Structure 1
Amino acid sequence: MKHGQSLATKLAFLSASFMVTSAYAIQSALPQIKTSLAVSQPQVEYLVTAPSFAVMFFVVLSPLLQDWFNISDKHIIMAGITLVGIAGLVPAFVSNYWVILASRLVLGAGYGLYNSQAISLISVWYQGHERTSMQGWRSAFEQIGNACTLTISSLLLIYAGWHAAFLVYGLAFAVMAFFAWRVPNDAHSNSASDSADDQANETISPITNEKVTKISPLVIAILAFVLLIKMDFIGMEDRFPGLAVAINGSQFNGSGTYLSLMLIGATLGGACYGTLQKHFGYIGAIYIGLVLLAIANFLFGFGGNNFMIIAAGILLVGFPMQVLTPLIFNILPFMAPMKLQTKITSFILIGFNFGAFFSPTADAWFNHLLSQPLSGLGLAAPFRIYGVMMLIIAALIFFGKRGMEIKFDHQGTLAPQTKRAK
């Protein structure tokens, strides 16, 4: 399969992920929206969380829509980004809460329509270390997009009011135009040309060293893992502001700065993933991610009333999270044949979104298990459990690897990656 190797083409592939996390861009405008629309705190928070509900449905519907209408990955991505732009801009021009909430649900539908394709398309067009590096940069682009849209929206809010904050979604049209211009046209996965290419690029399992012809049951284990790390990550983000106020007093308003710095660390994690995987191997990168994530949880969970230790935990957590995320998507090509990549990617994305949605409930359960209050310093309690879980998973992988004949190349990465047809 031929594709452009230029930097502009690679940036075009990555640009599709730039807007994926932009649902959080309007967080700084929530107090003004609440006052202007005279709604409750839960109602205004739904404007941020509602897109996640729609994403869970549309990551399932998206591949089905592709099958029904025979739409290529490139064009479904273009449609999704366009929908994000249109729905995202609606609140800039209306002041009715229910219309805005509906537009946010449509915004989530746009994300769900193309998110899995933006990931799986890289696995289809790129191979080997180049694929690994691209998946790492894709994860980094999500964080870059998050930081950029949050910053732009906040500036628009300061200078032009909460309606203007939603104008940030106009960036989606620029992203769509760049993606359409530079990404090569692709055939639908069910087409004859793709079938021939699937035969030419057979996916070989690194465990059995045989051609992958069906979805591996290990996908269930991966789903459980992504649920856990997403609950951990979102829970720490959500509870940090309350914990910071409990330590520093109600006058403290610097939580946003620390969360922004955490996003920079997350961006570095995604950018460094390819290098870490190259030098330490696939399993080595897993260990690094899990150990760093455990350390971040222990700093956060055992920091007590020492704000600097708590802050160190939140600043660290983004880096391992964005090492583990592209690592997960990089193993998916070995879990199913290429024609099913979009479907299993959608399945894993449901796990990520449900983990984010379920995080408050899971953390409340952990508080109850540890007999800790859901306020004050008790907000940090669940992360002691998360830290222990990460170390247990690392130990299970260590002993499980010793019990399986997993094939590695000289750099310790999974091998072989593909088998060319004769």
Structure 2
Amino acid sequence: MSELSIKHRGLLKFGILSISTMLQDASAISVAVVGMVGAFSNHSAASVQALVTIPSFSMMIFILLNSVVVKFIGKRNTVIISLLLALIGGVGPAFTSNFTAIQILRFIYGAGTGLYTPLAVSLLGDFFSGDELRSLLGIQAAVSAIGSSAMTFVAGMLVGIDWQSCFWVYFLVIPVLIIFTIAYPKNSDGKNVKKNEVVKNNLESSIEKKSKKLPVIVIIGILLLFVYFSVIMALYTDSGLAIKQLDLSNQGFLGTALSIAGLVSAAFSVLYGKIFKIFKHFTPVVILVISAIGFIGMTRVPNMFMFTVYAIMISVSALLVPYVYSTVLENAPASSKNLTISLAMVLNNLGAYISPYFLAFIGKGIGKSDPVSAFLICTFFMIMLAVIFLILAIKRQKIVNHPVVKN
């Protein structure tokens, strides 16, 4: 570690962790869906809802392009440029009412976010290791969830002005950009990139020498996570329309409710290790059942207080992400771990992007295309996922209790 990074250790941690506050903020403007549906009445509700999820599509693309960009301009410059793109794409919709322009700007926002998403973790690995790194990774996950909750809360306050005003929330990219630029040492970037290139080359060489197929459990886990993200986004894309359909009072509390749910989700993420020790591989079954109860509750929610309670129950299912990622890391061949995690991240974003269209397609097929019915569809898929994970957990337990002994 360089002398500079030792001297400014605390500032460096703060600077790197600061960029994680913006990782999950694409859905912050979900509180404006009702207003946007009214403003763009000549477009389908699904296409308007997709304005929330379009960044997930471009993130998927630019996560894959990250290593190429870093190779040419370095990690520090990649983060700075990507934050500038996120700023332009984030606040841009506040200044235009053109639907196509907003779609393009949301794509740009996702492109910027996708470029630095892998760096939110890898930069910590460049400077820290061992228990300190593990601790920072836990904090990083919590910072990401807290940042998302804070942005949603602020957007919820701004939407009281009008639906476009909620996009002002992305001006918060500016302090993050300033903090990172000051905290991340210029003279370390070249060294770190050089070190990572050596590691990357060794990894690629290892992959070429001993390519192995991914275990079935890993492939299943990634695909189930894809289905999960296709469903869970309904909490953000359909909530505003659902509480309007149910004619609940105090609908302006939506942003605060989603923020509270996000904060509780962050707390559970920090406690994931302890929760897993209790439920073991039945952890996803428990959290998915809780989430299913939350979704079914949403179909008959009487007030915004209970909406908040049900939103918290649904958000707890976010623990499925670290469970699947840990399964990947435990079971994927050493030479394929990074590639597999990247694939999972891409499919997660693809699932989030297609969510409005996926739920609209299912709803149309069963003759239930209203927002409240979307929650009923989500309930079905959460139960289906819980059953699949239950079967996998029982099979895993049988293998542990009755291992196959090879002669």
| 1:316–1:170 Cα change, 3 Å | same
Out of 23, 28, 53, which is 1:20 matched to? 23
- Give runs of aligned pairs for residues 192-271 of structure 1, distance below 5 A: 195=198, 216-217=214-215, 219-241=218-240, 244=243, 248-249=246-247, 253=251, 255-271=254-270
* Alpha carbons 2:30, 2:236 under 8 Å: kept: no
**Closer, same or farther: CA 134–319 of 1 in aligned 2, 3 Å:** farther
Deviation at 1:354, TM superposition (A): 1.3
In structure 2, relative to structure 1, the CA distance for the partners of 1:187 and 1:302 (3 Å cut) is same
Work out which of the residue numbers 111, 114, 130 in structure 1 matches 2:113.
111
Contact (CA 8 Å) 1:37, 1:97: kept in 2 or not?
yes
Task: Show CA shifts across 1:196-249 (max 9, x none).
Answer: 7998xxx9xxxxxxx998684465333213212212321344444555456x44
Q: Report the counterpart of residue 296 of structure 1 in structure 2.
A: 291
- Residue 143 of structure 1 aligns with an amino acid whose one-letter code is A
Q: How far has the Cα of 1:291 moved from its partner?
A: 0.8
CA contact (8 A) 1:244 1:252 kept: no
Does the Cα contact within 8 Å between 2:141 and 2:266 map onto a contact in 1? Answer: yes
Q: Compared with structure 1, are the counterparts of its residues 387 and 129 closer, same or farther at alpha carbon in structure 2 (3 Å cutoff)?
A: farther
C-alpha contact 1:301 1:384 (8 A) present in aligned 2: no
**1:252 Cα offset (Å):** 6.8
Task: Using the TM superposition, give the Cα deviation of residue 77 of structure 1 relative to its aligned residue in structure 2, in angstroms.
Answer: 2.6
Change (3 A) 1:404 1:73: farther
Whether 2:140 is the aligned partner of 1:138: answer yes
Kept in 1, the 8 Å contact 2:231–2:381? The answer is: no
Which position in structure 2 is the counterpart of 1:63?
Answer: 67
Whether contact under 8 Å (2:298, 2:372) holds in the other structure is no
Mark the CA change 1:270 to 1:404 in structure 2 (over 3 Å): closer, same or farther.
same
Q: Note if contact 2:287-2:317 (Cα within 8 Å) is conserved in structure 1.
A: yes
Q: Which consecutive aligned stretches of 4+ in structure 1 deviate over 6 angstroms post-superposition?
A: 34-38, 196-199, 211-215
Amino acid in the other structure paired with 1:393:
F
How far residue 109 of structure 1 moved from its aligned partner, in angstroms, is: 0.9
1:359 alignment partner in structure 2 = 355
The structure 2 residue matched to 1:47, chosen from 51, 74, 86, is 51
Contact 1:124 1:338 in 2 (8 A): no
Question: Counterpart amino acid of 1:288?
Answer: T
Task: In structure 2, give the amino acid aligned to 1:50.
Answer: I
Q: Residue type of the partner of 1:61?
A: L
Query: Which piece of structure 1 moves more, 389-398 or 41-50?
Result: 41-50
Tell me what 1:87 maps to.
89
Q: Which residue of 1 aligns with 2:405?
A: none
**Structure 1 contact 187–193 (Cα < 8 Å) conserved:** no
Q: What is the TM-score with the length of structure 2 in the denominator?
A: 0.75
**2-side partners of 1:21 and 1:127: how far apart?**
25
CA contact (8 A) 1:88 1:169 kept: yes
Cα distance in 1, alignment partners of residues 178 and 344 from structure 2? 28
TM-score by length of 1: 0.73
1:381 aligns with 2:385: no
Instruction: Kindly state the Cα deviation for residue 396 of structure 1 after the two structures are TM-superposed.
Output: 0.8
SS at match of 1:381: helix
Sequence identity, in percent? 22
Task: Read off the aligned partner of 2:312 and give its amino acid letter.
Answer: L
What is the alpha-carbon distance in structure 2 between the residues aligned to residue 391 and residue 131 of structure 1?
Answer: 35
Q: Equivalent residue for 1:416? A: none
Answering whether residue 313 of structure 2 is matched by residue 316 of structure 1, we say yes
The CA deviation at 1:110 is 0.5
Aligned length: 385
Deviations 1:89-122 (A, max 9, x none): 3334445443333222111111111112323444
